[in-house]
Amino acid sequence: MPDLKPTLNEDHPSPAYHCGRLMAVFAQLQRSALGDVGAGVVQRYFAAASSTPSLVLGRLSRLSQFHLDKLEGGLRHWYESQIANIWARLGDSLPRTLDLEGQSLFALGYYQQLAHIRAGKSGIAAEQKEETRNE
């Protein structure tokens, strides 16, 4: 199976796309804070978030605060910045429901954000090492 290539479009016009991006960041945040938890954010919330994002993403945002509290320094700041930037792209409101096309855009945003995060993991690790050295 070929690796996903990071082709994230931060300027995508669809709110559904950015909802998917947010889901990917929440999932990676949980993994960074807690490790492998078995049934995590994606397994529990992906289906509901991809069809009714306004009902689910607020709850995940609240839960993300507990995960952020477990992180330190640069990694915490990086996740907070990612979440803030995506929320800013969403503007004043989340879509209540997504039709099939919207659900596809949600999935596209999720997987492109995930690929982007995974491609940058080495950059995050290097930033953490540098921060530790400077302390």
Domain containing 88 equals: 15-134
- Residues 133 and 66: their CA atoms lie apart, in Å, by 27
Residue 94 resides in a domain? yes
* Eight-class DSSP state of 102: H
Q: What is the pLDDT of residue 4?
A: 44
Which two structure tokens, joined as six digits, stand for 33? 């804070």
With 90 as the cut, is the pLDDT of residue 127 above it?
no
Residue 95 resides in a domain? yes
With 80 as the cut, is the pLDDT of residue 1 above it?
no
Domains: count for the chain: 1
Reported as a pLDDT band with limits 50, 70 and 90, residue 2 is: very low
Q: For tokens 């689910």, name the residue.
A: 56
Cα angle value 87/119/54 (rounded, 5°) = 25
Contact 20, 107 (CB under 8 A): yes
pTM above threshold 0.85: no
Q: What is the pLDDT of residue 72?
A: 87
* Eight-class DSSP state of 8: -
Residue 7 resides in a domain? no
60-114: pLDDT as tens digits: 999 999 999 999 889 999 999 999 999 999 988 899 999 999 999 999 999 999 9
Residue 50 resides in a domain? yes
With 80 as the cut, is the pLDDT of residue 135 above it?
no
24-65: pLDDT as tens digits: 999 999 999 999 888 899 999 999 999 999 999 999 999 999
Residue 9 resides in a domain? no
Residue 2 resides in a domain? no
Query: Could you tell me how far CA 22 lies from the centroid of its own chain?
Result: 4
Coil, strand or helix at 96? coil
Cα angle value 16/56/41 (rounded, 5°) = 95
Residue 3 resides in a domain? no
**Gyration radius from the chain CA atoms:** 15
Q: What is the pLDDT of residue 5?
A: 47
Residue 5 resides in a domain? no
